[in-house]
Amino acid sequence: MSITVKCYATLEPFQPSSDLAFRPGASVAQVAEGLGIPLDEVAIVFRNAEPAALETEVRDGDVLKLFPVIGGG
């Protein structure tokens, strides 16, 4: 199963250079952990432009967008 992952802001250093292969049934959390991203740093997830949870199962061809907690003032 091949997916595309896009990491933003402080998660950008974890951005993979190509699509990733994961076993069927993998969750967003498993993908993040596979990239070395601490789960407590992932605040917002989109799967195919729809909000998703860390427990959401990914499917072949999915596009994941991972965002950290973002503060501002």
Express each pLDDT in 6-57 by its tens digit.
999 999 999 998 888 888 889 999 999 999 999 999 999 999 999 999 999 9
Q: What is the mean pLDDT of residues 57-70?
A: 94
Which of 25, 41, 26, 35 has its CA nearest to residue 5?
35
Domain-located, residue 72? no
Query: What total of structural domains would you count in the chain?
Result: 1
Instruction: Reply yes or no on whether the pLDDT at 72 is more than 90.
Output: no
- What is the model's pLDDT at position 11? 96
Domain membership of residue 42 (yes or no) is: yes
- The CATH number that applies at residue 62 is 3.10.20.30
Q: pTM for this one?
A: 0.91
Q: Which long-range contacts (CB under 8 A, 24 or more apart) does 36-39 make?
A: 37/7, 37/11, 37/66
> Which residue is listed with tokens 């974890």?
14
Domain range spanning residue 17?
2-67
